[in-house]
Amino acid sequence: MNQSEEAMREPIKKKKLIQKKGERAQVDPTKTVINLSSKILDQNQINLLNRGLKFTMAPRSIPRIELMMTAEETASQMEDAERAEEYRWKIRTVLERADYKPRKNISAESTALKDLQSDLSIKILPADKGNATVVLDLEIYNKIQEMMEQGQYKKLRKDPTSSIEIKEGITTSAVKNTHHFGEIIREQHITQQDPLVSFDVTSLFTNVPTNKALDIVKKKLSEDQALEHRTSLSINMIMEMLNMCINTTYFQLYNDFYQQEFSVAMGSPLLPIVSNIFIGDIVT
């Protein structure tokens, strides 16, 4: 390719690059909208939910009167009368020149929103993990309240968020993965008479006694001679933070708040670590 041909292709390359950068990333609705209810969602409803629970519908027209009232309230609080009048003039000019054209599918979105809001048989919630929206049957969602009566949770008098203030163990029995397991048995002399036994704990994560587990963690930290070389935190500081993370797990159901009374809450990153330390202390 000669220089003249290359020069002609250069603007085309830049144009394609600009278009590629300006393209909006397409999100797969099947991954962001999880419908676990018996309701069949149409495409408009799926598209609306795909925008997220914080999405706000665009108005059909510019609310000029409301904006002018808000601007007037702001202007009336200004001490400089000349500046206030200039502010009013700028707001009025912007609103008069504004040419607002709502999206073409706003009517379909509005219909989808009204249908979802009026359907009292479903509950729409954000997923625990990931940027997804979950649709559940209200009947199924209400059954969660039955779990609150099983003694594993206690009802709190209020939202504890404002009152909460900031005030990995290694075991020989822990196996990281199959590769780690292979490295361990490679060093062992195994005969044909040696059986391979695997033990499982029923519902381990939800049956770990937190107080006992914390005592074991504190004991292991006290026995760790190299701890002071790895962190400047004292054992008491570590235990205080660990206790806060484990014992301040709560959730909201409708207008009530609940806290799990036993074990570590599912989903906590501390859960597998504390569980391994607890089991490791038992088997060693």
Mean pLDDT of 236-250: 82
Residue 105, pLDDT score: 63
Give 35-88 pLDDT, tens digit per residue: 989 999 999 899 889 888 888 777 777 888 888 888 888 888 888 888 989 998
pLDDT confidence band for 169 (50 / 70 / 90): very low
Mean pLDDT of 148-160: 69
Residue 135, pLDDT score: 92
Residue scoring higher pLDDT (14 or 43)? 43
Residue 19, pLDDT score: 45
Helix/strand/coil (H/E/C) assignment for every residue in 95-160: HHHCCCCCCCCHHHHHHHHHHHHHCCCEEEEECCCCCCEEEEEHHHHHCHHHHCCCCCEEEECCCC
Residue where the block lists tokens 């003039």: 89
Q: Which of 39-53, 91-105, 107-121 has the lowest mean pLDDT?
A: 91-105
Indicate the average pLDDT of the chain.
76
* Nearby residues of 266 by Cβ (< 8 Å), 6 or more positions away: 205, 206
Q: Which of 66-75, 109-118, 274-283 has the lowest mean pLDDT?
A: 274-283
pLDDT confidence band for 103 (50 / 70 / 90): low
Round to whole Å and give the CA distance between 29 and 50.
6
Where exactly are the structural domains of the chain? 26-57+102-142, 64-97, 153-187+202-283
Is the pLDDT score of 23 beyond 70? no
- Highest mean pLDDT: which of 30-34, 57-61, 197-201, 268-272? 30-34
Round to whole Å and give the CA distance between 229 and 223.
14
Residue scoring higher pLDDT (152 or 196)? 196
Residue scoring higher pLDDT (128 or 243)? 243
What percent of the chain clears pLDDT 90, i.e. is strictly above it?
6
pTM, rounded to two decimals: 0.43
Residue scoring higher pLDDT (265 or 167)? 265
